[in-house]
Amino acid sequence: MSANGVENGESTEMSVTSLDETAVDADPSAIVHESGPRTVFLSLDADETIPGHRHPESTVLFHVLSGTVTLTVGDETRELTEGDVARFDGTREVSPRATTSANALVILVET
User: What residue ranges do the domains of the chain occupy?
Assistant: 20-110
Rounded to whole angstroms, the Cα distance separating 111 from 60 reads 10
In this prediction the pTM is 0.75
Q: What φ, ψ does residue 66 adopt, rounded to 5°?
A: -155, 155
pLDDT values of the chain reduced to their tens digit, one per residue, 111 residues: 344 444 455 555 655 555 554 455 556 676 666 667 888 899 999 999 999 999 999 999 999 999 999 999 999 999 999 999 999 999 999 999 999 999 999 999 998
- Domain 20-110 class in CATH: mainly beta
